[in-house]
Amino acid sequence: MRKSLLAVGLLLLSFPGFAQSNPPIAVIPQPVYLLQGKGYFTFSGKLSIIFSGDEEIRKIAGHLATRIEKASGIKPVIKKGTAAEPNSIFLKTAGSRAGSPAPGGYTLEVTPKTITLVSLPMNPAGMFHGVQTLLQLFPKEIESNTHLSPRQWKIPVVTIQDSPRFGWRGLMLDVSRHFFTVPQVKDYIDQMVKYKFNLLHLHLTDDQGWRLQIKSLPKLTEVGAWRVEKTGTFGRFSPPAADEPRTYGGFYTHEDIKEIVRYAAERYVDILPEIDFPGHSLAALASYPELSCTPGTYAVNSGEQFMIWPGGGQHFYGTLDNTLCPANEKVYDFIDKVFTEVAQLFPFGYIHMGGDETARNFWEKTEQIKALMQKEKLKDLDEVQSYFVKRVEKIINAKGKKMIGWDEILQGGLAPNAAVMSWRGMKGGIEAAKQGHEVVMSPTDFAYIDYMQGDAVLEPPVYASLRLKKAYQFEPLPEGVDPALIKGGQANLWTEQVYNMRHAQYMTWPRGFAIAEALWSPKEKRNWNDFVSRVERHFERLDAAAVKYAPSMYDAIFEVSKKDTATIIVKLATEIEGLSVHYSFDNSFPDNFYPAYSTPLTVPKDAAAMKVITYRDNKPVGRLMVMPVAELKKRAGIK
């Protein structure tokens, strides 16, 4: 009797479509409300996408159909209609009745027969975001070209109501230090919209390259877009010889930018252009040296050191003058020309003027600056910088755009209409908001995705670290400020050490998931363990999509100290739960038959290296870490 009941149970469990409990749904960012039901919607051979609404909604239906067809080989029929039908996905624009989705939001109802996605008529972005959620409910093969049979395309029954916490959900890509092509930028956009990012900030100019065609200033790209190609650790390269070819680089033509802007707009992404002034301007000066307070011969930087950071902190100076001269009227004519074209090319309402890390040690010494200070009654170099920023704001405002800048634009007094992007922590953003200015939060401590995401013995070297768990603690809205002024936040990918798009992906994911969730989901829904389980499901999707990501959350964490004067003590931990950490001191490769870490370890006196690896369920999940004892000594402070 028992045996036959078990047999029936097993039979029912293996029967597709039987109303058993489905595995938990894993959507990133976590929706506001999600109630999972039982059973599945399954494709029939004749899937249709019905839409109510205008041409824009039809285009979103087309986007969904393309994704489905590419992955499944099933070509959905797209038609206009007013009601769902069996085997259909219905994209419905509902009126402004109470309870309808907020701007950017949507509701999604999956039943065994139909899928209904609803957004406000004036809110196609909500429909687009809803489509992204729906695609996350599909089997992971939707991300690949693996054709499952129609019955295998199962979408779990669920009710979702969702809307974003912040309107500005950004990623910044530095295309100056390393150049990324138009197809690569489009691919980056494709990946970011899956996680409901809606803004791509392009850092278009820096000391290492000017990446935007300015037709009235042709040398910017004839000269400024090219440097000597170097490989290794950026910032530590030997200075290039005068005859080394300057063949590395590239730039976006006006046509390229129009193409990127159009592609982004079709995916509800705004492009924020950044032209970084008055510092970070070697590429501009290599093209037009007369814009410096110290005219001479300049070259685009190829990764050799020229900024010095005593103590590694906020203080710095340049061994080269990489700044535009605030006392030179030609500089403002130049900036006017640049922003005339920038304003025409980029429809987004804001232009970013940089403003960060301006080394002023050359300003200090020039007669021109001293004369400007006297004339304009500027009492220090902060005020000189502020004078410059205020003039730049006037230029930008005259083009019908709002100005945003890094938080250094607060120094010496904020320009009257400026928005602030707070990167040196949150304090600049808080101060700006208290002064009544708009703010975007992108603090280094939580949102700098150029930083290493694990231990320096494994990760490509960068001067600081940001683990996934820390990124997941990003809270963009500080207490005590007007929430209406905090527009949102973004993660920034500086690319000094990012030589190619595969590595850009590695640096972006999964920390991009954490930032997406901080910017979209309700604060009270934040749950690290639940997030990790969803991240793991999305790793499978990234694998299917052939997008690289960092597995650093599986690697061990070292905490090193000393006992007496010469004994090294190592504590090991993991970022996520449920892993065991195995180690060796005898140079052999540890596996799960080696000792599992439980209490602090004393490093044997004559050991040369400690090797560490993490396991889960008898399978290696982390990467092998080889920690030289010399490095442990350094970390312990033993000479």
Compute the least distance from the CB of residue 554 to ligand ACM, in Å.
Answer: 28
| b/e code 241-253 from CB counts within 10 Å (16+ = b) | eeeeebebbbbbe
- Look up 382 and say whether it is catalytic: no
Nearest residue to 120 (alpha-carbon basis) of 94, 99, 98: 94
Q: How far apart, in whole angstroms, are the C-alpha atoms of residue 607 and residue 605? A: 6
Q: How far apart, in whole angstroms, are the C-alpha atoms of residue 326 and residue 322? A: 13
- Look up 280 and say whether it is catalytic: yes
Determine if 423 is a binding residue for ligand ACM (CB under 6 A).
Answer: yes
Nearest residue to 226 (alpha-carbon basis) of 251, 198, 248: 248
- Look up 229 and say whether it is catalytic: no
Which one of 56, 190, 266, 356 is in contact with ligand ACM (CB under 6 A)? 356
Length of the chain: 639
Helices assigned H by DSSP within 107-240: 124-137, 182-193, 219-222
Residue 560 phi/psi, 5-degree rounding, is -115, 135
Nearer to ligand ACM, 339 or 406 (CB): 406
Q: Which residue is nearest to ligand ACM (CB)?
A: 356
Compute the least distance from the CB of residue 444 to ligand ACM, in Å.
Answer: 7
Determine if 450 is a binding residue for ligand ACM (CB under 6 A).
Answer: no
Determine if 445 is a binding residue for ligand ACM (CB under 6 A).
Answer: no
Q: How far apart, in whole angstroms, are the C-alpha atoms of residue 509 and residue 495? A: 15
Compute the least distance from the CB of residue 423 to ligand ACM, in Å.
Answer: 4
Compute the least distance from the CB of residue 356 to ligand ACM, in Å.
Answer: 4
**Of residues 357, 459, 496, 575, which has the active-site annotation?**
357
Nearer to ligand ACM, 174 or 256 (CB): 174
Instruction: Copy the structure tokens of residue 26.
Output: 């894993």
**Of residues 63, 178, 280, 538, which has the active-site annotation?**
280
H or E, element range at 308? strand 307-308
Residues ≥6 apart with Cβ < 8 Å to 627: 455, 457, 558, 609, 610, 611, 612
Nearer to ligand ACM, 179 or 423 (CB): 423
| Rg of the chain, C-alpha, whole Å | 27
Determine the angle formed by the axes of helices 254-266 and 329-345, rounding to 10 degrees. Answer: 50
Determine if 513 is a binding residue for ligand ACM (CB under 6 A).
Answer: no
Nearer to ligand ACM, 208 or 213 (CB): 208
**Of residues 206, 270, 276, 407, which has the active-site annotation?**
206
User: x/- string (CB under 6 A) for ligand ACM, residues 69-88?
Assistant: --------------------
Instruction: Give the total of residues touching ligand ACM (CB under 6 A).
Output: 4
Which one of 143, 357, 455, 496 is in contact with ligand ACM (CB under 6 A)? 357
Nearer to ligand ACM, 217 or 420 (CB): 420
Nearer to ligand ACM, 423 or 554 (CB): 423
Nearer to ligand ACM, 341 or 393 (CB): 393
DSSP string, 510-566: THHHHHHHHHHS-GGG--HHHHHHHHHHHHHHHHHHT-----GGGSEEEEEEEETTT
Determine if 277 is a binding residue for ligand ACM (CB under 6 A).
Answer: no
Which one of 406, 520, 585, 615 is in contact with ligand ACM (CB under 6 A)? 406
Name the CA dihedral angle for 255, 256, 257, 263, rounded to a multiple of 10 degrees. Answer: 110
Residues interacting with ligand ACM, by CB under 6 A? 356-357, 406, 423
Active site residues: 206, 280, 357
